[in-house]
Structure 1
């Protein structure tokens, strides 16, 4: 099957020129939000001198396409730190790993190793390619501890929006390799009525999810079901933290998934940030409370981090 360049694919698929002109990133999202939230600022990804950053590390190749990640390593510590792999959003068809740099920088400043990852977007390869890519990034990190120095037995998947759904799905199906999942304003159930109202809207030709799955729910029901993290919950699932905005449509399925996790005795928590828009993790003043929620949760999962040397 021919894989078109992303911009050409969006045009041919009916997504239109506006989708091409408005990629998902902090700058374009800021322009959409600033009128309603005049005090927001694009979050800085500046790191303290103790944090080492290594960029453009290729973890996999798909033909001529190289998939890369950026590593944020904390300063020397008495014990190897947990590693958080951060998955960016963008409706499965836009965005890049740079969106997650502010979170990665702040996590590393607090003693956690972090990595931001690229994956194939829907215009490059449909579902489940993105899931396969994130799994391969996890495998690469597990196989190369000498590169990052983190504890490969304490790996975490986290992501925002579409990245939250990807992180949750990959985490629920990791066979124990992922020890915690953090889903930031991402879907848990594509098949619920509320999710399909937005993601299966016939006026969207195609919707973001429809483009990823290669068809509407009636055409690809098995894929819509398979890609829903809620359908993979078991007693072996890792603990899950949901961090949500004031816009519940983006985290549809969360309450049902939490109930299912708890039925299996798995820790499931929610931190809600009142008055926040979707994509809040890209901006101040919400980056700090987002990182607070993440590190508080990881502290309960793994215990307090040892002091730096």
Structure 2
């Protein structure tokens, strides 16, 4: 812990974080608008959550946080327009889209509501599977966390309290990022910086915890899809890339240093696979964990009202307890 605190105070910069570059294009196949068209007939009461920030929220957009071979990856920062507190907790938000689609703008409504509650929220872009296979997305999100901690003083962020959260594929990525804290294999930027990319809490919203079970492989390794979303990310089927499918399962890495984890789940069982086993492991180790299920919900519920408010309620209540600070 002493080493960790020391790294927070180190003055350094991540390679490429301030370098200008060509921004990676956003993929817009998976959006709230396209998902609404699929869900509205069965859930006529839902509304797409607003991406328009109120006057109480300040937004800084299109910030380069790392540069990969001349292509910049960017994040957007959402924060209270005014605060009496000297520093606020942070949270990095990872969008979903089957590892090959989606855009950080999908999580803007969530970031706005977190900022309204006193958080510094960063929505991040990362390399999708069509551009770079696993584990590039993990490297990218860790780089974003490191960038945020490096620049904590610029944005009134408390570098001791940073969480990572995501939905669907973003939930799996967020969980894997958190359970691999301080593992150099998953963080190539670590050798270039003395600032830690470790997080102090994880929130997995309807993201897989295990790719390897028979039931998980039924969905994620469907032979009718060539390739499946997971297969495209791993560069091969389970039989071809068994080691990667296991390595990318957050369940594999649960240990005594795993941060507290909140699971928020829909009514769709497919996306909860591995969660119960992960909770069981954490309970044995005495690590704080909580599961909040939102009944009668489809996957992607967090993109819509009224479910987004329930989701953010659960997130802030959990983080308030784990961080010991109330926004």
Q: TM-score, normalised by structure 1?
A: 0.90
The answer to whether 1:118 aligns with 2:125 is yes
The match for 2:258 among 219, 230, 237 is 237
The answer to whether 1:294 aligns with 2:315 is yes
The match for 2:65 among 35, 59, 76 is 59
CA separation in 1, counterparts of 2:106 and 2:229?
Answer: 19
Q: TM-score, normalised by structure 2?
A: 0.86
* Aligned pairs for 1:1-309 within 5 A: 23-74=29-80, 75-175=82-182, 177-305=198-326
Q: CA separation of 1:60/1:32 partners in 2, compared to 1, >3 Å: closer, same or farther?
A: same
CA separation in 2, counterparts of 1:128 and 1:245?
Answer: 26
Moved more, 104-113 or 46-55: 46-55
CA separation in 2, counterparts of 1:304 and 1:132?
Answer: 29
Moved more, 246-255 or 208-217: 246-255
Contact in 2 for aligned 1:6/1:124 (Cα 8 Å):
no
How far residue 149 of structure 1 moved from its aligned partner, in angstroms, is 1.6
Contact in 1 for aligned 2:302/2:308 (Cα 8 Å):
yes
3-state DSSP of counterpart to 1:27: helix
CA separation in 2, counterparts of 1:78 and 1:60?
Answer: 29
CA separation in 2, counterparts of 1:304 and 1:144?
Answer: 21
How far residue 217 of structure 1 moved from its aligned partner, in angstroms, is 0.2
CA separation in 2, counterparts of 1:76 and 1:292?
Answer: 20
- RMSD after superposition: 1.7
How far residue 6 of structure 1 moved from its aligned partner, in angstroms, is 9.5
How far residue 79 of structure 1 moved from its aligned partner, in angstroms, is 3.5
Q: Deviations over 1:172-225 (max 9, x none)?
A: 011382100000000000001111000011001110000000000000000000
CA separation in 2, counterparts of 1:64 and 1:241?
Answer: 36
CA separation in 1, counterparts of 2:65 and 2:280?
Answer: 36
Q: Which runs of 5+ in 2 are unaligned?
A: 1-23, 183-195
How far residue 81 of structure 1 moved from its aligned partner, in angstroms, is 1.1
CA separation in 2, counterparts of 1:6 and 1:251?
Answer: 31
Moved more, 167-176 or 223-232: 167-176
How far residue 52 of structure 1 moved from its aligned partner, in angstroms, is 1.2
Moved more, 200-209 or 137-146: 137-146
CA separation in 2, counterparts of 1:302 and 1:180?
Answer: 8
Q: CA separation of 1:6/1:194 partners in 2, compared to 1, >3 Å: closer, same or farther?
A: farther
Contact in 1 for aligned 2:203/2:315 (Cα 8 Å):
yes
CA separation in 2, counterparts of 1:247 and 1:46?
Answer: 29
Contact in 2 for aligned 1:70/1:116 (Cα 8 Å):
yes
In the comparison of the two structures, how many residue pairs are matched? Answer: 289
CA separation in 1, counterparts of 2:218 and 2:65?
Answer: 37
Contact in 2 for aligned 1:163/1:186 (Cα 8 Å):
yes
Q: Deviations over 1:129-172 (max 9, x none)?
A: 00000011111111111332211110000000000000000000
